[in-house]
Amino acid sequence: MKNKNLNNLIKELKKISLTVDEKSRLLAQLDAYSASHQPIKTPYYFSRPLTYTFACLSIVILIGGSTVFASEKALPGDVLYPIKIHISEPLKVALATTHEAKDRVRVQHIEERLNEAEILAVQGRLATTTVAEINDSVKSSINSIKSDLSEKNKDDLDIKMSAHSAVLKSIQDHSDDNQKANIQDVENAVRDSTRKDVKNNRVMAKEVKNKVKVIEAKDFERDTKIKDEIKNIDKRIEKSTKRSFKRDDRGRDGGRD
């Protein structure tokens, strides 16, 4: 009975509408407007992708190369971050000449999103909205390139994603509770994007060390506590990979569990 009343309210509200005369009058006015606002085809018409590329190049020239260069280090929330995402990165893809080169650049951008998440997590600044944006970006980028990648490149991508997963788990272990959940969300997105979980092989270990170096190299002003935390992450990963190397040397299969 109660839901019926709510449904009745919704039905009554939906009855509010234009009269036939009002609709006709409105359409006549819009007809006159559309007649005087026809689309104009310019003689200088370019294809849409080319137009965007020229627009991006023009913006780059106007703003100045130094600004674009400075945006390379920007993190979500920084003033220059939109320039990094919407100008610098699309430009790099556009300037790559072959299909394979474009895919390599796109993979770099996927990794950059995860680097940003890791750095923010170490800084304790990984917000829920940022997580949603990063996850959407990673998922859609991976979906757009996965079908085009060769098997070797797919394996490489899995190794990179597994390495990021390891780094995120390590950061999560030493984060505050409010950061733990956000880091877990990113790690879930990374795992969902990985075809196979690569554990404890030498290539992956090297990738992990590279990622930690990236986090260390980023120019952020933090106190020694954060830098010590990063060194601890590095040491823990080095310890676990040394154990895995010993297992590898003893002839066990360390490529896939």
Work out whether 5 is an interface residue with other proteins (CB under 8 A).
yes
Q: How far is the CB of 14 from other proteins (least distance, A)?
A: 6
Closest CA to 244 of 193, 211, 201, 212: 201
Return the number of other C-beta atoms located less than 10 Å from residue 9's C-beta. 10
- In the list 33, 176, 217, 219, the residue contacting other proteins (rule: CB under 8 A) is 33
Cα separation, 61 vs 175, in Å, equals: 42
Q: How far is the CB of 192 from other proteins (least distance, A)?
A: 15
Work out whether 37 is an interface residue with other proteins (CB under 8 A).
yes
- In the list 100, 136, 148, 192, the residue contacting other proteins (rule: CB under 8 A) is 136
Residues 155, 104 contacting (CB under 8 angstroms):
no
Q: How far is the CB of 38 from other proteins (least distance, A)?
A: 7
Residues 182, 200 contacting (CB under 8 angstroms):
no
Work out whether 39 is an interface residue with other proteins (CB under 8 A).
yes
Chain centre to alpha carbon of residue 186: 10
Residue 256 φ then ψ, to 5°: -150, 130
Query: Which window, 13-21, 80-88, 111-119, 147-155, contacts other proteins (CB under 8 A)?
Result: 13-21
Residues 76, 116 contacting (CB under 8 angstroms):
yes
Work out whether 251 is an interface residue with other proteins (CB under 8 A).
no
Q: How far is the CB of 18 from other proteins (least distance, A)?
A: 5
As beta bridge partners, residue 256 has: 198
Residue type, 39: P
31 or 253, CB closer to other proteins? Answer: 31
Q: Which residues bind other proteins (CB under 8 A)?
A: 2-3, 5-6, 8-10, 12-14, 16-18, 22-23, 26-27, 29-30, 33-34, 37-39, 132, 136
